[in-house]
Structure formats: structure tokens, C-alpha cells
Chains A and B, each alone.
Chain A
Amino acid sequence: GDSVTQMEGPVTLSEEAFLTINCTYTATGYPSLFWYVQYPGEGLQLLLKATKADDKGSNKGFEATYRKETTSFHLEKGSVQVSDSAVYFCALTSTSGTYKYIFGTGTRLKVLA
């Protein structure tokens, strides 16, 4: 079945460091891919998405490119801030129902000033 694998956290970085959070997936067909973020005390928020191969999603300085050949959707940011501290979830649209997501386990990011 469909699945998402994320790098385990926590990831601890200094402010202005470069961020990469790895995400790979297994799916039949061509799912859409997403990154959601959960800031402390808040709900999950859609950060960015890509709906087809080679698409690049971007938002708030974060980027991720849909790589079909490597079945990956790694999240990157060139210079993180303390306010980026949160839990990041990679997800895909389930091929068994376009109304539901398959999520990864989440990666906690802590950015130190």
C-alpha cells in the first residue's frame, strides 16, 4: 500500500543554517505530495504541495521538488529562523481515495538562536 517515510528527528539547527528534511514515498499511480507543519499549540497547516513530477512547491522560503525517479519530496530551506521550530509532516494523496492523506511520522525541528 501507499506509504511515506520521513527522516527521524529531532533536528536541531542554529539560526540561519540550511535545512533538509528527507521524505520518500511508495505509491501506485501518481499521487500529489504535500508538506504540512504543526507549530506548537496549533493545528496542521498546509505548507506547500506539488501535484505532478518535477513540480516545485514553495512557501515561506521552504521548497520541495517532486522527484518521480527517486520517489522523493525533500523539504529544504536556505536559512532557518527560530520561528520555524515545529513538527513537519510529509504526506501524499492516497491512491485508494483522493479525499484522504497518507502521512509520514513527522520530523521535529528545533532552531536555536
Chain B
Amino acid sequence: EAGVTQFPSHSVIEKGQTVTLRCDPISGHDNLYWYRRVMGKEIKFLLHFVKESKQDESGMPNNRFLAERTGGTYSTLKVQPAELEDSGVYFCASSQRGISNYGYTFGSGTRLTVV
């Protein structure tokens, strides 16, 4: 089966611009997660979708970040306007069951650089 796919793999934007990251989960996976690794630090949870509903967005840093999952398929994460501290690697993951004990399939990430 195809894995979790993320677009783009790299993005370099100027401070103040808008960037949209996309994640295509494994087909049939209702649960979708976004995580972020900033500057070589720990990978941090951003939010969790079940189908098209946000179950937990407690990790979203601020209101410049907007995640959507229309139709319960792919998801987008928009940063508007981008700030320097938003630079990092954004990972998406998906799973059939929303229980981390079973392990999730992660994408290879989008490396975002804000200059």
C-alpha cells in the first residue's frame, strides 16, 4: 500500500508569506496527525483529526496555523503569516486506530524554512 505522502518536501518562504503543507494519508485511515520538529528539538504533537473532525488541536502554536481535512481524506496545514520560529520539519502520520500503541505511519516530512 502507498505510504503517507507529504508535499512539498522542502519549502523556503519569506517572513510574512503564506505556506500550505499537504498530507495524503494511507487510504482508509480515519486518524490523521500533524507533528512538528523545530531546530533539532523534540517532535511535538500539533493536532489530531478523526475523519474531517478535529479531535485535539491542543498542540497548535497559535492562530497563524490552520489545519483542515475536508472530506476526511487529505489534510492541509496553512501557516499565515509565517514567522522565523515556524521553521522546522512538519510530519504527518495516519492510522486506522487512534491508539498510539499500535504505531503510526509517518510521512517523510516537509522541511519549512522561513527567512
Q: Which of A12-20, A36-44, A65-73 is the interface stretch?
A: A36-44
Q: Is B22 an interface residue (CB 8 A)?
A: no
Task: Give the B-binding residues of A (Cβ under 8 A).
Answer: 4, 32, 34, 36, 41-46, 49, 51, 89, 91, 93-94, 97-106
Q: Choose among A44, A45, A46, A100 the residue that contacts B48 (Cβ–Cβ < 8 A).
A: A100
| Cα of A99 to Cα of B56 in the assembled complex, Å | 10
Q: Which residues of A lie under 8 Å from residue B16 when comparing CB positions?
A: none
Q: Which residues of B contact A (CB under 8 A)?
A: 3-4, 31, 33, 35, 37, 40-45, 48, 55-56, 59, 91, 93, 98-101, 103-109
Apart from the given pairs A43-B91, A89-B43, 9 other A-B contacts in the complex at a CB distance below 8 Å: A43-B105, A43-B106, A43-B107, A94-B100, A97-B48, A98-B99, A99-B55, A101-B43, A102-B45
The answer to whether B100 and A93 touch across the interface, beta carbons within 8 angstroms, is yes
Is B42 in contact with A103, judged by CB distance below 8 angstroms? yes
Residues A4 and B42 in contact, CB atoms below 8 Å apart = yes
Q: Do residues A105 and B40 form an inter-chain contact, with CB atoms below 8 A?
A: yes
Partner of A105, one of B31, B42, B93, B107: B42
Residues A103 and B43 in contact, CB atoms below 8 Å apart: yes
Q: A43-B108, A94-B45 are in contact. Are A49 and B101 (CB under 8 A)?
A: yes
A101 to B91, CA, bound (A): 13
